[in-house]
Structure 1
Amino acid sequence: LASNQKMSFVGPLVFDRSDMIGTPAVIGWNADRTRVYLVGYGTHSAETVPFELDLTPFVYGNAAPYELPALRPLMPRNALRPQMTYAVSDDGALIAYLFSEPTRTVTNYTGYGDPFAGIGLLDVRTGQNTILVTAPADEAILSMSYATDSNALYYATARYTESPLGGIGVPIGTRLFRYDLEARQNSGGNQLAPDPNMSVASFAVCGDNVFYVANPLNSEDYILYSASLVNLAQPTALLGGRFGVSFGACVP
């Protein structure tokens, strides 16, 4: 769809339950916006491999019901891990995903499901599915951010410790990495928070800067930081207090 157009689905979309599990969610589009990529989300994370739905048979504005086109899986169903989360390139050609491994053990980890163990990359054009990154031993990948302007993935890893406030495992020692999708090279690994004992909740990369939310282990207050990617050691505190942040798209 063009940037100034909108599309609404009215009524339920019913998929074959053997294909789509949970609530269908859009994760991205192809370059000309004629195909949409969907996954089924369960309680905590995606519960299916990504599917492609061809929208060209749809007649917009037609009030008569019609059959949905068949869903095409973009990777073999047996490639599914218990938890997966996705990021799609602007042109829809590449789908990066975090995956978990039931066999991975991370000391003090008490998160939902299994810890994220690595990052994979699916090339929609060729069907090639590659594992790019595996987390260091006794660490988990917290999250990733797709930097479309530089064709790179930024991701953070952390080990876990028991929180003095509630006895749950919280991430500490968070390090930020950059994976160049063109050169297929990994770099970085510098400490993200100003104190290694601060717990980083989430982050996002926008241009030459990274934004992240962190809090000291003995506090319920959070701090929103920004830092230059070339100088993570000198972040700027933007906001403090008891709040939650969900990072969206970067605004030029």
Structure 2
Amino acid sequence: MSFVGPLVFDRSDMIGTPAVIGWNADRTRVYLVGYGTHSAETVPFELDLTPFVYGNAAPYELPALRPLMPRNALRPQMTYAVSDDGALIAYLFSEPTRTVTNYTGYGDPFAGIGLLDVRTGQNTILVTAPADEAILSMSYATDSNALYYATARYTESPLGGIGVPIGTRLFRYDLEARQNSGGNQLAPDPNMSVASFAVCGDNVFYVANPLNSEDYILYSASLVNLAQPTALLGGRFGVSFGACVP
């Protein structure tokens, strides 16, 4: 049995609090981001643990840390998602110039999705949100060959006067063909506010609530038939989606 102690590395290039966002396929390299109070303060970094994984590190050797993107590629409020094989890092970003009617969330609305290919270093902007809409969140397909993302417009909530997302639509971006498709309504009622979603296999799970209610409903639906969702659970609760379990 081996003892794994605190991980020490030179973090002079990293701003904020280091947080793990993912690993490469053989778990010898870890991807880190420096986070501030509300969002990322740095581009992704790679911490090479190879000498330590295979037991041939020199005495007092520190893991090598390198940025995976140019530091000037940092965009406002970047939020990252790493594919299961560690080859791709997708990220949401905002644009201070984007205006979305009734939006009252923290900072600026998410305006687009970018993709970093760790293998080649290629960094590409994949999609931007439609006019007067924001991107809510994104989720990899189970085999990581596509990204699902949801967009919405905003309206004023009758309960609290804050802006809430409605008219949520689900899109699929094929990472191999580099083609966008979908755009179908996610919730059974366009006036329901979708809080979060996750794709698992051939289904999507999401949480939504009517504008005049504090109760939430957990739905599941086939990706090929979003119009007929199944209500799984209702009540006053919050859901944070994790990984799919085979």
TM-score (norm 2): 0.92
Deviation of residue 148 (structure 1)? 3.5
Aligned residues: 246
Is the alpha carbon distance of 1:8 and 1:170 closer, same or farther for their aligned partners in structure 2, counting shifts above 3 Å?
farther
Q: Is the 8 A contact 2:172 2:180 kept in 1?
A: yes
Deviation of residue 215 (structure 1)? 0.5
Deviation of residue 179 (structure 1)? 0.4
Deviation of residue 233 (structure 1)? 0.7
Is the alpha carbon distance of 1:63 and 1:35 closer, same or farther for their aligned partners in structure 2, counting shifts above 3 Å?
closer
Residue matched to 1:152: 146
Is the alpha carbon distance of 1:237 and 1:74 closer, same or farther for their aligned partners in structure 2, counting shifts above 3 Å?
same
Q: Is the 8 A contact 2:10 2:62 kept in 1?
A: no
CA distance in 2, matches of 1:8, 1:192: 48
Q: 2:192 aligns with which of 193, 198, 201?
A: 198
CA distance in 2, matches of 1:147, 1:114: 26
| Pairing 1:250–2:244 present | yes
Deviation of residue 23 (structure 1)? 2.0
Secondary structure, counterpart of 2:229 in structure 1: strand
The share of aligned pairs that are identical, in percent, is: 100
- Structure 1: 5+ residue runs without aligned partners? 1-6
Deviation of residue 187 (structure 1)? 0.3
Deviates more, 1:219-228 or 1:79-88: 79-88
Q: Is the 8 A contact 1:89 1:148 kept in 2?
A: no
Q: Is the 8 A contact 1:197 1:217 kept in 2?
A: yes
Q: Is the 8 A contact 1:101 1:116 kept in 2?
A: yes
Deviation of residue 35 (structure 1)? 0.6
Q: CA deviation digits over 1:116-140, x for unaligned, max 9? A: 1101111111111000000001111
Q: Is the 8 A contact 1:19 1:48 kept in 2?
A: no
Q: CA deviation digits over 1:16-69, x for unaligned, max 9? A: 666322221111111221111111122222221100000123379999994532
- Structure 2: 5+ residue runs without aligned partners? none
Q: Is the 8 A contact 2:33 2:40 kept in 1?
A: yes
